[in-house]
């Protein structure tokens, strides 16, 4: 990914909120990123996509903006989510920690470095605990200085909102606990297996997990019941190194640089094919796959398009074509 011709130094936040059944509520949260309380437009921000999941009762809102504008946009959306979502009433198949569950900030070009994103993430974390009394946060990735611990490690250390925090009071059931951080881009790729056998799903998930010998680099994964089947839900992290055009199973891994460091990520097609192979070995078949939002390069291109044309609620352009 190269520098922005718009001079905006673009970043994205894939804001995870613990609501996927009330679409109007989620869209209200998304619009809070775009308009101030008086209704004035934040011209430097756009919402590219909203990925809803009813069974998980979770949505992912893709917000893109210049680095200098992302903090206000994201923090406003977080405030609105905390106002509208009460974790005391929440049910869903996907593990979650808070009303605003996850606030990751990703660079979309070489002109934005790790510390730029870390600074904005820390500002969002501080602002959330100041503006929403009772909100609690923990930091991960580049924002977690000096250790830079990853999200999976931090979630485990936080005890899934039973233990300590990095900011605010001990987590309250009303808001839960919010992870705020920064890292190279992380995709969400979900593959559905035509079975209700969660044990089979967990076995497949374990086989592709990065930490398993022979697993796929960058893949963190859960097997979850979903719409009468089992979904292999993958966070696909960008991993350091590897030559441009790194190839596995005949397909190139997309590459990009952040702060002079090369990163690559496994394509969704590789994950889908591997899950299908493992499922077939158990006499099962896959029913489909979905990317929740965009790949890193897609996100950059769509952000440029939407911001150049002044489209704030770009997710409406995606309806019927990408969910």
pLDDT tens-digit readout, 188-227: 999 999 999 999 999 999 999 999 999 999 999 999 999 9
Decide if 1 is inside a domain: no
CA distance 50 to 30: 8
Decide if 3 is inside a domain: no
The CATH number covering residue 62 comes to 3.30.990.10
Does 32 share its domain with 145?
Answer: yes
Does 269 share its domain with 153?
Answer: no
Q: What average pLDDT does the chain have?
A: 90
pLDDT in the model for residue 121: 98
Residue in 56, 26, 73 with CA at minimum distance from that of residue 225: 56
Does 286 share its domain with 300?
Answer: no
Residue 210 has φ and ψ, to the nearest 5°, of: -55, -40
Decide if 170 is inside a domain: yes
pLDDT in the model for residue 248: 63
pLDDT in the model for residue 114: 96
pLDDT in the model for residue 70: 97
> What is the b/e burial string over 280-306, where b = at least 16 CB atoms within 10 angstroms of the residue's CB?
eeeebebbebbbbbbbbebbbebbbeb
Decide if 43 is inside a domain: yes
Does 234 share its domain with 311?
Answer: no
Average pLDDT over residues 169-177: 80
Count of C-beta atoms within a 10 Å radius of residue 104: 23
Does 266 share its domain with 142?
Answer: no
Decide if 2 is inside a domain: no
Contact (Cβ atoms closer than 8 angstroms) between residue 270 and residue 217 = no
- Residue 37: pLDDT band (50, 70, 90) is confident
Residue in 71, 28, 112, 49 with CA at minimum distance from that of residue 306: 49
Does 97 share its domain with 232?
Answer: no
Does 21 share its domain with 164?
Answer: yes
Does 127 share its domain with 18?
Answer: yes
Does 204 share its domain with 175?
Answer: no
The pLDDT tens digits of the residues spanning 83-135 come to 999 999 999 988 899 999 999 999 998 899 999 999 999 999 999 999 999 99
Decide if 4 is inside a domain: no
Does 246 share its domain with 176?
Answer: no
Domain ranges, residue 242? 186-291
Decide if 5 is inside a domain: no
90 Cβ neighbours under 8 A, 6+ residues apart: 18, 19, 57, 96, 99
pLDDT in the model for residue 320: 37
pLDDT in the model for residue 231: 96
pLDDT reading at 321 higher than 60:
no
pLDDT in the model for residue 38: 87
The HSE-up count of residue 292 (CA atoms within 13 Å, CB side) is 24
**What's the structural domain count of the chain?**
2
CA distance 29 to 179: 18
Does 20 share its domain with 109?
Answer: yes
The distance of Cα 241 from the centroid of its chain, to the nearest Å, equals 22
Does 230 share its domain with 125?
Answer: no
Decide if 158 is inside a domain: yes
Residue 91 has φ and ψ, to the nearest 5°, of: -135, 145
pLDDT in the model for residue 116: 97
């Amino acid at each position: 990914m190269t520098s922005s011709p718009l001079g905006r130094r673009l970043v994205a936040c894939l804001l995870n909120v613990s609501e996927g059944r009330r679409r109007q509520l989620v869209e209200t949260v998304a619009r809070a990123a775009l308009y101030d309380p008086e209704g004035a437009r934040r011209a430097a921000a756009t919402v590219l996509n909203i990925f809803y999941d009813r069974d998980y009762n979770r949505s992912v809102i893709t917000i893109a903006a210049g680095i200098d504008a992302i903090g206000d946009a994201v923090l406003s959306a977080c405030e609105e989510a905390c106002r509208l979502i009460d974790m005391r009433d929440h049910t869903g198949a996907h593990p979650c920690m808070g009303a605003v569950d996850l606030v990751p900030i990703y660079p979309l070009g070489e002109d934005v470095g790790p510390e730029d994103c870390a600074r904005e993430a820390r500002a969002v974390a501080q602002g959330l605990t100041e503006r929403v009394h009772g909100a609690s946060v923990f930091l991960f990735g580049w924002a977690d200085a000096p250790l830079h611990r990853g999200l999976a490690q931090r979630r485990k250390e936080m005890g899934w909102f039973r233990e300590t925090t990095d900011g605010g009071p001990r987590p309250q059931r009303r808001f839960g606990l919010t992870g705020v951080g920064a890292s190279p881009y992380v995709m969400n790729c979900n593959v559905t297996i035509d079975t209700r056998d969660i044990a089979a799903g967990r076995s497949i998930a374990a086989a592709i997990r990065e930490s398993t010998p022979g697993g796929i680099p960058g893949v963190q994964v859960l097997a979850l019941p979903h719409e009468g089947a089992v979904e292999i839900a993958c966070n696909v992290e960008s991993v350091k190194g590897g030559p441009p055009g790194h190839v596995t199973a005949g397909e190139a891994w997309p590459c990009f640089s952040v702060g002079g460091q090369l990163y690559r990520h496994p394509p969704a097609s590789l994950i889908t094919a591997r899950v299908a192979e493992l499922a077939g070995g158990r006499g099962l078949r896959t029913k489909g796959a979905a990317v929740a939002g965009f790949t890193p390069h897609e996100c950059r291109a769509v952000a440029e398009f939407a911001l150049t044309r002044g489209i704030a609620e770009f997710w409406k352009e995606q309806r019927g074509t990408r969910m």
